[in-house]
Homo-oligomer: A and B are copies of this chain.
Amino acid sequence: MNAHEIAEQFVLRLDARDWAAWTELMTADVVYEVPQSRERIRGRDRYLQFNQEYPGDWHVVPKVVIGEGDRAAVWFDWRVGGAATADAQVFFELRDGLIVRITDFWPEPYEPPPGREHLTERW
Q: Which residues of A contact B (CB under 8 A)?
A: 4, 34-42, 46-47, 49-50, 53, 55, 64, 66-68, 71-73, 75, 87, 89, 91, 103, 105-112, 115-116, 119-123
Q: How many copies does the complex hold?
A: 2
A68 neighbours in B (Cβ, 8 Å): 4, 66-68
Q: A37-B111, A108-B110 are in contact. List 16 more A-B contacts (CB 8 A).
A: A36-B108, A36-B109, A36-B110, A37-B112, A37-B122, A38-B109, A39-B112, A40-B120, A50-B119, A64-B71, A66-B67, A66-B72, A66-B91, A68-B68, A75-B91, A106-B110
A120 neighbours in B (Cβ, 8 Å): 39-41, 50
A106 neighbours in B (Cβ, 8 Å): 107, 110
- CB of A104, distance to nearest CB on chain B (Å): 9
Q: Which 4 A-B pairs have the closest CB atoms?
A: A37-B112, A73-B73, A107-B107, A39-B120
